Amino acid sequence: MKQKTDVLQGTLALMVLKTLDVLGPLHGYGIARRIEQISGDLLAVNQGTLYPVLLKLENEGAIASEWGASENNRRARFYRLTREGRKQLQVERQGWEQTAAIMARFFKAKTEDLS
Amino acid sequence: MKSLRRFLYRLFNSAARHEHEERLREEIAEHIVLQTQENLRAGLPPIEARRRAMFKFGGVEAMKQDYRAERGLPIIENLLADLRNAIRTIFRMPGLATVIVLSLAIGIGVNTTILSWIQLILLEPLPAVGGASNFLVVEPHTDTGGYPGASWLEYRDLQTQLPALRDLVASEMVPFNVGEKGRTERTHGQLVSGNFFSALGLKPAIGRFIRPEEAERPGTEPVIVISYDYWQTRFRGAPEAVGQKLRVNERDLILIGVAPREFQGTMLPLKFELWVPATMAPALLGGTRDLEDRNSRGFSLIGMLRPGATREQAQAEFSTAMAQLARDYPEANAGIGGEILSFWKTPRGPQRMLISGLAILQGVMLLLLLAVCGNTANLMLARGSTRQHEMAVRVALGAGRWRIISLVLSENMLLALLGAVLGVALAVWGTTALRIAPMIGAFPIQFQTRVDGLTLAFAISLGIACGLIFSAAPAVQLARLDPQQGLRASSNTPPRSRARKVLMGAEVGVAMVVLIAAALFLQSFRSARQTDPRFRPEGVLLAAYDLSGRNPNEASEREFSTRLLERLRSLPDVEAAAIATNVPLDLHGIPARSFTVQGRVRTESGQDRAISNTVTPGYFKVMEIPLLAGHDFAEMADRTAPAQAIVNEEFVRRYLNGADAIGRRIQRRTESFVIVGVARNAVYNAFDEPPQPAMYFSYRDIPASEGEIHLRTRGGHETALASEARATLRDVDPMLPLYDVRTFSQHIERNLYLRRIPARMFVVLGPLLLGLAAIGIYAVVSYAVARRTREIGLRLAFGATSQRVVLQIIRENMGVIIYGTAIGWVLAFVISLHAITRGVINLPVFIGVPALLLGVTTLACWIPARRASRIDPMAALRHE
């Protein structure tokens, strides 16, 4: 149960970083929308889980935040990727791609390949 | 790196808690607004749009919890919360907290002070000398068990014959007269070997130290090193002091350096001010044969093991060397072997005696601290039980067992650490108060105890240990709590706690032992003070002189004391005057000498010994000791009378079976004395001693270079005689200082100083312990009574009288108290029988103390019991 959240949080963090990398500075809602659009139902409910992840990333120095004005001129917290975050994104992306490739190969493998 | 940064952020965030809470709230609000707008654009009605937005956002509280957990550090935050809670709890019980903190502080403070003494003696026996505990004492040891010291020549031989030791250092204590004619001052110093300072690893505060070559040949370099204090007081710390001349024993010595601040010589606890090369001895102490006479054993030797060498090796080498010396110089070294001892076992100084005393004291004090812990545990248990409801609520709301335990722990730890901090403050005060050097006898003494890292760590760990000890019981009790039970239990009678009762009984037992010990101690001290010394100290002035710096011989010594005595007797305010080598009730004691007496046939082997004091005629008049037979000594100028002795009653009883003593001869070594008088017994070394056999000899027959002047005033106050005595001595010899001037009463007070310290300690600790026991019992009983309000109400409602209720409660609790008292009493009885009074049992103490203890404990039971009996039955029954 706990591990599942960890995995979810890990992927969520990576998604946040990628989103900010692609779209530039964005507020929490914007990030949530973007992830929802791309990942489908991961954030269809419990959008709130995004905020602890944002805080964690900020504590790690991967992203920074400051107050700004949202589209409808309300005060909103804008997050942007730091240089360190960009580096982190790159490293984790490679890691993910590698893992994904291995997993994909693993699942594709038939029984006779393994014997 | 990343995790470190995250940790730091979180630590910081923990502090800036409110700001973040606010930020999150705003972000959530903004998020929901944006989502609602989105939904509106999708064509939903406003209420539905907002509802869906909220739904989509998910559980706000759960998320906030995650967010908070991410934001701060839960462990630290919990700890801080616990601490806050602990502070609040403690403020809610100021009285109880004060009692606990104060009793802990006293317990910890006293223990820390004692440890600092033990540390001083065992670990840092030489202030300012690093690693001094590694030094070994190298002592010649006679077959008869004495430690006569080493001679200079022996030291020079040993230097080359003990390869297992490096830096063998020799020193001899000597009194010096410092200053110009008529204004000399007696100051204690050490004659030292050339490697003294380098072996001790000391750095001069200013100037330089004695060089090895300056202590090679007799009478070479007239140099001197002074102590830091001496430099400060006599030279006001001026750097120009170095190079100046210092007049010592009528010789000019060149001041070459100042020892570091805390250095006080190598004979703890004596405080020396001057250090001179040993080779200066003949020049400074006229006619001394210290450097060439193997029988002149004034030096003490210390040394350190060479790396890799063992103590056994050193001991073997030392034994071999001493055996060789005994063969080479039989007249000086026959029957003298050698012993290598740890520094604190030195036969010169009170270390060995102090250590055993301190160890016992430390043990008793740790026991006391344990009693304090037991007491606190009891109080905490009582309080903990009343908090069952609170804890049940906490558990019901989801607090884990560990949270409850950490809550209880943090409260108790805070109390314990407060106690420890206060205890350290007490110890700092205590050690500095004890540092102030008392002058005991003619020697300045200084114990440089201090509170340093080790003692501090000791105090804090005592505090933590105490906290853990008295947290354990309540923490376990509360953590085991079943919330359902706890919430419901308030109206039920709680299970009787066995632990509390056992603790209560044990505490009373400990209190009993310590109180009896305290009472016995005080009694013996008080009775000692009230004992008639069998001489009259009131109205007597004492002062000392010392001719040893002046190359005296028997004739000049006799001549000097004759003249001085004559002058003193002629003083108008002096009723009687005398000189003696020893003063009774001195800290160092009067020496006992072996002798044979005519008409005494010894059946067993060994030798008769009696206290021996050399006095001038008139001594018995000054002391007001009546002569029961015979007469006083012949006058000093009398050249015809044979050598005389006066003995006391006990001497006659013990060695002459009460026969007539007058005219019999006493043989002391080669000299023979005829007994001319029998004096009444007096007190010699301690107030409570059994009668001691004593013999007095005359200055006329055995002149001495040192003397204690005794002056009995004609009526005025004896202190008024001081200036006259000083002037008289100056008339007789302008260079000689009069030192250690004091009244006989002061002399006695001063020498009771060491006995007073433990007596005072017990005076404070006795009532404290009684109070602690009473508080503990009071707490337990009042708690138990409070829990039984309903039951008591019922009893009262059914017609029990309040008297019956009180009696019942007292009876229930007194059982265990009486057990504790009885066990403590038996223990104290056994200890007293075997250790303290050796067979004599002090009945008033052994009856009075239990009576007092039982009285106080009964009162401690009665007060809460009476309060309980006053309960209005109706109120009590409605109460829950």
Mean pLDDT estimate for chain A? 79
Q: B1 to chain A, minimum CA–CA distance in Å?
A: 9
Rg (CA), chain A: 17
pLDDT tens for B709-725 read: 999 998 878 888 888 88
Q: A98 to chain B, minimum CA–CA distance in Å?
A: 23
Q: Is the dihedral of CA B229, B232, B237, B240 positive or negative?
A: negative
Give, as one character, the DSSP assignment of residue B436.
S
Confidence of residue B812 (pLDDT cuts 50, 70, 90): confident
Q: A110 to chain B, minimum CA–CA distance in Å?
A: 41
Question: What are A69's strand-pairing partners?
Answer: A75
Work out the angle at residue B78's Cα, subtended by the Cα atoms of residues B74 and B80, and round it to the nearest 5 degrees.
Answer: 120
Question: B30 and A55 in contact by Cβ < 8 A?
Answer: no
Res B633: pLDDT: 94
Q: B82 to chain A, minimum CA–CA distance in Å?
A: 25
Yes or no: say if B132 and B125 are a contact pair by the CB < 8 Å rule: yes
Total residues belonging to chain B: 880
pTM beyond cutoff 0.90: no
A and B: number of Cβ contacts within 8 A: 79
Q: Give chain B positions within 8 Å (CB) of A33.
A: 38
Question: B9 and A44 in contact by Cβ < 8 A?
Answer: no
Phi/psi at B139 (nearest 5 deg)?
-120, 120
* B22 vs A: CB within 8 A: no
Domain locations in chain B as residue ranges? 2-72, 75-134+351-490, 144-334, 548-735
Q: Which of A2, A5, A12, A29 to mutate to test the interface with B (most CBs of B within 10 A)?
A: A29
Confidence of residue B830 (pLDDT cuts 50, 70, 90): confident
Q: A9 to chain B, minimum CA–CA distance in Å?
A: 11
* CB-based burial, B565-580: b 16+ in 10 Å, e otherwise: bebbeebeebebbbbb
pLDDT of B632 higher than 90: yes
Question: A74 and B2 in contact by Cβ < 8 A?
Answer: no
pLDDT tens for A25-44 read: 888 888 888 888 887 666 66
The larger pLDDT score, comparing residue B681 to residue B391, is at B681
pLDDT of A4 higher than 60: no
For the record, the structure tokens of B266 come out as: 């190598």
Q: Give chain A positions within 8 Å (CB) of B12.
A: none
Question: B70 and A52 in contact by Cβ < 8 A?
Answer: yes
Res B708: pLDDT: 92
Which of B55-64, B520-529, B797-806 tops mean pLDDT?
B797-806
Question: A59 and B63 in contact by Cβ < 8 A?
Answer: no
Q: Pick from A28, A52, A56: which is nearest to B31 by CB?
A: A28
Mean pLDDT estimate for chain B? 82
Q: What is the percent of chain B with per-residue pLDDT over 90, rounded to a whole number?
A: 17
The larger pLDDT score, comparing residue B443 to residue A77, is at A77
- Residue B273 to residue B447: CA distance in whole angstroms: 15
Compute CA distances B878 → B375, B492, B794, B798, whole Å.
Answer: 33, 13, 11, 15
Res B493: pLDDT: 46
The larger pLDDT score, comparing residue B716 to residue A62, is at A62
Q: A64 to chain B, minimum CA–CA distance in Å?
A: 13
**Which of the residue ranges B364-378, B627-641, B656-670 would you say has the lowest mean pLDDT?**
B364-378
Q: Give chain A positions within 8 Å (CB) of B23.
A: 77
- Residue B626 to residue B714: CA distance in whole angstroms: 18
A-proximal residues of B, 707-736, CB under 8 Å = none
Confidence of residue B534 (pLDDT cuts 50, 70, 90): confident
Compute CA distances B431 → B104, B354, B787, B814, whole Å.
Answer: 18, 16, 45, 41
Compute CA distances B731 → B181, B469, B571, B572, whole Å.
Answer: 12, 70, 13, 16
Q: With H, G, I as helix, E, B as strand and everything else as coil, classify residue B12.
A: helix
Question: B58 and A46 in contact by Cβ < 8 A?
Answer: yes
**Which residue, among B857, B851, B197, B5, has the nearest Cα to B507 in the 3D structure?**
B857
The larger pLDDT score, comparing residue B730 to residue B4, is at B730
pLDDT tens for B838-869 read: 556 677 888 888 898 889 888 888 888 888 78
Question: B30 and A76 in contact by Cβ < 8 A?
Answer: yes
Confidence of residue A1 (pLDDT cuts 50, 70, 90): very low
* B69 vs A: CB within 8 A: yes
Nearest CA in chain A to B3: A60
**Which of the residue ranges B101-115, B275-289, B571-585 would you say has the lowest mean pLDDT?**
B275-289
Confidence of residue B682 (pLDDT cuts 50, 70, 90): very high
- Residue B403 to residue B180: CA distance in whole angstroms: 77
Q: Give chain A positions within 8 Å (CB) of B67.
A: 51-52, 55
Res B567: pLDDT: 92
**Which residue, among B195, B189, B219, B220, has the nearest Cα to B209 in the 3D structure?**
B195
Q: With H, G, I as helix, E, B as strand and everything else as coil, classify residue B180.
A: coil
Question: B63 and A77 in contact by Cβ < 8 A?
Answer: no
CATH number at residue A32: 1.10.10.10
* CB-based burial, B823-834: b 16+ in 10 Å, e otherwise: bbbeebeeebee
Q: Give chain B positions within 8 Å (CB) of A55.
A: 67, 70-71
pLDDT of B620 higher than 90: yes
Average pLDDT over residues B179-193: 81
- Residue B407 to residue B80: CA distance in whole angstroms: 10
pLDDT of B627 higher than 70: yes
Res B588: pLDDT: 64
Res B404: pLDDT: 78
The domain total for chain A is 1
pLDDT of B618 higher than 90: yes
pLDDT of B574 higher than 80: yes
Confidence of residue B603 (pLDDT cuts 50, 70, 90): low
Tell me the residue range of the domain where A17 lies: 2-114
pLDDT of A6 higher than 80: no
Question: A77 and B30 in contact by Cβ < 8 A?
Answer: yes
Average pLDDT over residues B460-473: 86
* B24 vs A: CB within 8 A: yes
pLDDT of B746 higher than 50: yes
Res A3: pLDDT: 40
Compute CA distances A75 → A16, A48, B153, B635, B661, whole Å.
Answer: 21, 18, 96, 114, 116
Phi/psi at B754 (nearest 5 deg)?
-65, -35
Q: Is the dihedral of CA B528, B532, B538, B540 positive or negative?
A: negative
Res A2: pLDDT: 38
Q: Give chain B positions within 8 Å (CB) of A29.
A: 30-31, 34-35
- Residue B667 to residue B650: CA distance in whole angstroms: 18
Question: A29 and B34 in contact by Cβ < 8 A?
Answer: yes
The larger pLDDT score, comparing residue B444 to residue B44, is at B44
Q: What is the percent of chain B with per-residue pLDDT over 70, rounded to a whole number?
A: 86
pLDDT of A115 higher than 60: no
* B312 vs A: CB within 8 A: no
- Residue B854 to residue B857: CA distance in whole angstroms: 5
* B830 vs A: CB within 8 A: no
pLDDT of B217 higher than 80: no
The larger pLDDT score, comparing residue B811 to residue B363, is at B811
The larger pLDDT score, comparing residue B835 to residue B92, is at B92
Q: Which of B39, B54, B56 to mutate to test the interface with A (most CBs of A within 10 A)?
A: B56
Yes or no: say if B524 and B759 are a contact pair by the CB < 8 Å rule: no
Q: With H, G, I as helix, E, B as strand and everything else as coil, classify residue B469.
A: helix
A-proximal residues of B, 574-593, CB under 8 Å = none
Q: Give chain A positions within 8 Å (CB) of B14.
A: none
Average pLDDT over residues A64-72: 82
* B28 vs A: CB within 8 A: yes
Q: Give chain A positions within 8 Å (CB) of B35.
A: 29, 47
pLDDT of B440 higher than 60: no
* B19 vs A: CB within 8 A: no
**Which of the residue ranges B178-187, B430-439, B536-545, B677-686 would you say has the lowest mean pLDDT?**
B430-439
**Which of the residue ranges B103-107, B278-282, B572-576, B830-834 would you say has the lowest mean pLDDT?**
B830-834
Residues of A with CB under 8 A from a CB of B: 27-29, 32-33, 44-49, 51-52, 55-56, 58-61, 70-72, 74-77
Average pLDDT over residues B348-354: 67
Q: Pick from A44, A51, A70: which is nearest to B67 by CB?
A: A51
- Residue B587 to residue B754: CA distance in whole angstroms: 9
Compute CA distances B515 → B758, B773, B814, B824, whole Å.
Answer: 13, 11, 19, 10
The larger pLDDT score, comparing residue B445 to residue B505, is at B505
* B27 vs A: CB within 8 A: yes
Question: A47 and B27 in contact by Cβ < 8 A?
Answer: no
Question: B2 and A29 in contact by Cβ < 8 A?
Answer: no
pLDDT tens for B312-342 read: 999 999 999 999 998 888 877 877 888 898 8
Phi/psi at B594 (nearest 5 deg)?
-85, 155
Res B192: pLDDT: 92
* Cα Dmax for chain A: 63
* B58 vs A: CB within 8 A: yes
Q: Give chain B positions within 8 Å (CB) of A76.
A: 27, 30
Q: Give chain B positions within 8 Å (CB) of A27.
A: 30-31, 34
Question: B69 and A52 in contact by Cβ < 8 A?
Answer: yes
pLDDT of B351 higher than 80: no
Neighbours of B334 (CB within 10 A): 12
- Residue B503 to residue B104: CA distance in whole angstroms: 17
Distant-in-sequence, close-in-space partners of B372: CB < 8 Å, separation ≥ 6? B103, B104, B106, B107, B466, B772
B75 burial via Cβ count (<10 Å: 0-12, 13-18, 19+): exposed
Alpha carbon of residue B630 to chain centroid: 48
Question: B57 and A47 in contact by Cβ < 8 A?
Answer: yes
Res B341: pLDDT: 87
Nearest CA in chain B to A52: B67
Nearest CA in chain B to A31: B31
Res A37: pLDDT: 81
Average pLDDT over residues B353-379: 75
Q: B770 to chain A, minimum CA–CA distance in Å?
A: 57
Average pLDDT over residues B769-797: 77
DSSP characters over B633-652: PPPTT--SSPPEEEEEHHHH
Q: A63 to chain B, minimum CA–CA distance in Å?
A: 12
Q: B59 to chain A, minimum CA–CA distance in Å?
A: 7
Question: What are B672's strand-pairing partners?
Answer: B667
For the record, the structure tokens of B169 come out as: 């250092």
Res B213: pLDDT: 82
